[in-house]
Amino acid sequence: MRVGIVGAGTMGRVHAAAYRRIGVEGLAAYDVDPVKLADFASEEGAEPFTDYPKMLAEVDVVDVCAPTFAHQQLAEQAFAAGRDVILEKPLALSVAQGEQILRAARESGRRLFVAMVVRFFPQYRRARELVSRGELGRIGVVRLKRVSFPPAAAWFRDPAKSGGMPVDLMIHDLDYARWLLGGPRRVFARMSRGDRASALEHVQATLAYDDGAMVFVEGGWAYPPGYFRTSLDIAGDKGLIEWSSDQPVPLDTLLPKDAPPPKLGLPMAGLEENPYETELRHALSAFDSGEPFAVAPQEALEALRLAIAVRESALSESVVEVA
Ligand SMILES: NC(=O)c1ccc[n+]([C@@H]2O[C@H](COP(=O)([O-])OP(=O)(O)OC[C@H]3O[C@@H](n4cnc5c(N)ncnc54)[C@H](O)[C@@H]3O)[C@@H](O)[C@H]2O)c1
């Protein structure tokens, strides 16, 4: 299967490295910036294309790692050329754009995989498995955190191009919350932004569910350079799961003494593989076999809808109904 990477930036390189480890040969690459494209091609061993349609004619799968504002056009062109598409998250900048991408995939008869990588992190997968097996009982409270320094590329800092922090970064945890518990009824979020030009958005969002469950999601781009912290903490009436990137132990469970011993184990096997590699291996294998993706396009759209609702709530300082 020949893969063409679109976007010779950070994620293009992360994906190229993952394809190398998977053993994918004959990578192709396209970027609007010829200098970045040439560097990428020589460093990643890809065939460079300065013309997108020409690359589309040469590959089986297009992997869009370009900035979010370009996702719709690049994906739609690929579908029109009869190619399957891997698209970095977030799906798009608006629900309408996202719906158009999903429609273009359906109408072309091609497949779309949206790369929501957190679903491929072993700790997050394992925690979700325990929740769906009922080992924690009824879930009451979930806390998810993902805080980082501001991204360097200028387009991230313009919400019209990236969607802002909730759509770009917090979407990982919003998707995870939906994967655990389904969609919330309403959201309320507060944002601290520093000055407008700095993009130092830091958001605390509360997701309220019909059954009384609450999810608190914290996300931000206001940490000092180099810092990236994530954590999850899921409380049910039978037990609790905690994990934090600050802890040496990948995943910790606190279950009552009379419960069967946790079958958790430490997800060491999963940690041996880079989650981007797990994710792309899954996508290629699903393209090949026709099996369903671990992330359905509609789920990526619903995560985007929720992220936009969070941003809307933070900006309007009011509760936003989601469902
Ligand atoms: N899954 C994750 O963990 C993760 C992390 C970071 C970024 N992302 C997502 O990946 C995407 C890319 O982010 P990045 O950090 O690699 O950005 P980046 O700025 O590092 O790289 C983007 C590249 O795309 C090129 N480009 C711009 N417009 C283009 C177009 N129309 N056609 C082709 N190439 C174009 C740029 O020249 C640049 O080389 C974004 O959607 C972002 O939200 C995902």
Encoded tokens for 104 = 């273009």
**Ligand 1 center from residue 163 Cα (angstroms):** 13
Q: What are phi and psi of 31, to 5 degrees?
A: -150, 145
Tell whether 184 and 308 lie within a shared domain. Answer: yes
**Ligand 1 center from residue 112 Cα (angstroms):** 18
Beta strand 139-148 with 228-236 is antiparallel
- What is the CATH classification number for the domain harbouring 86? 3.40.50.720
Atom index in ligand 1 nearest the CA of residue 36 equals 39
Encoded tokens for 85 = 């598409």
**Residue of 5, 65, 120, 124 to mutate, ligand 1, most atoms within 8 A of C-beta:** 65
DSSP 148: E
**Residue of 6, 11, 69 to mutate, ligand 1, most atoms within 8 A of C-beta:** 11
- What is the CATH classification number for the domain harbouring 202? 3.30.360.10
Residue 117, SS3 per DSSP: helix
Residue 220 in domain: yes
pLDDT 10s per residue in the chain (323 long)? 999 999 999 999 999 999 999 999 999 999 999 999 999 999 999 999 999 999 999 999 999 999 999 999 999 999 999 999 999 999 999 999 999 999 999 999 999 999 999 999 989 999 999 999 999 999 999 999 999 888 888 999 899 999 999 999 999 999 999 999 999 999 999 999 876 666 789 999 999 999 999 999 999 999 888 788 899 999 999 999 999 888 765 565 656 556 544 322 222 233 556 899 999 999 999 999 999 999 999 999 999 999 999 999 999 999 999 97
pLDDT, position 225: 80
CB-based contact 18:277 (threshold 8 Å): yes
**Ligand 1 center from residue 265 Cα (angstroms):** 36
Atom index in ligand 1 nearest the CA of residue 13 equals 16
Nearest Cα to 217, choosing from 209, 227, 207?
207
Tell whether 314 and 210 lie within a shared domain. Answer: yes
**Ligand 1 center from residue 150 Cα (angstroms):** 15
pLDDT, position 194: 75
pLDDT, position 291: 96
Tell whether 180 and 241 lie within a shared domain. Answer: yes
**Ligand 1 center from residue 212 Cα (angstroms):** 38
Residue 282 in domain: no
**Ligand 1 center from residue 279 Cα (angstroms):** 17
Atom index in ligand 1 nearest the CA of residue 73 equals 31
Tell whether 155 and 107 lie within a shared domain. Answer: no
Mention every residue, 6+ apart, whose C-beta is less than 8 A from residue 225: 149
DSSP H or E run through 122: helix 122-132
Nearest Cα to 103, choosing from 144, 83, 75, 122?
75
State pTM to two decimals. 0.93
pLDDT, position 280: 97
Mention every residue, 6+ apart, whose C-beta is less than 8 A from residue 53: 77, 81
CB-based contact 63:15 (threshold 8 Å): yes
Tell whether 174 and 262 lie within a shared domain. Answer: yes
Structural domain harbouring 145:
121-271+296-321
95-108 vs 297-316: helix axis angle to the nearest 10? 170
Residue 283 in domain: no
Domain count, the chain: 2
Sheet holding 214-220, edge to edge: 252-254, 240-244, 228-236, 139-148, 214-220, 202-208, 186-192, 320-321
Residue 252 in domain: yes
Tell whether 203 and 245 lie within a shared domain. Answer: yes
SS3 content of the chain, % helix, strand, coil (to 5): 45, 25, 35
* Alpha carbon nearest to ligand 1 atom 41, residue: 68
Tell whether 215 and 132 lie within a shared domain. Answer: yes
CB-based contact 3:19 (threshold 8 Å): yes
Pocket around ligand 1: residues whose beta carbon is below 6 Å from it?
Answer: 6-12, 30-33, 36, 65-68, 70, 74, 88-89, 115, 117, 153, 168
Encoded tokens for 25 = 């040969």
∠ CA 303-171-300 to the nearest 5 degrees? Answer: 30
pLDDT, position 178: 98
CA distance 160 to 76: 20
DSSP result, 45-95: T-EEESSHHHHHHH-SEEEE-S-GGGHHHHHHHHHHTT-EEEEESS--SSH
Encoded tokens for 52 = 């997108």
**Ligand 1 center from residue 285 Cα (angstroms):** 24
* Alpha carbon nearest to ligand 1 atom 7, residue: 11
Atom index in ligand 1 nearest the CA of residue 116 equals 1
pLDDT, position 103: 98
pLDDT, position 151: 86
Encoded tokens for 133 = 């097996």
Tell whether 146 and 90 lie within a shared domain. Answer: no
pLDDT, position 267: 29
**Ligand 1 center from residue 275 Cα (angstroms):** 18
CA distance 186 to 196: 27
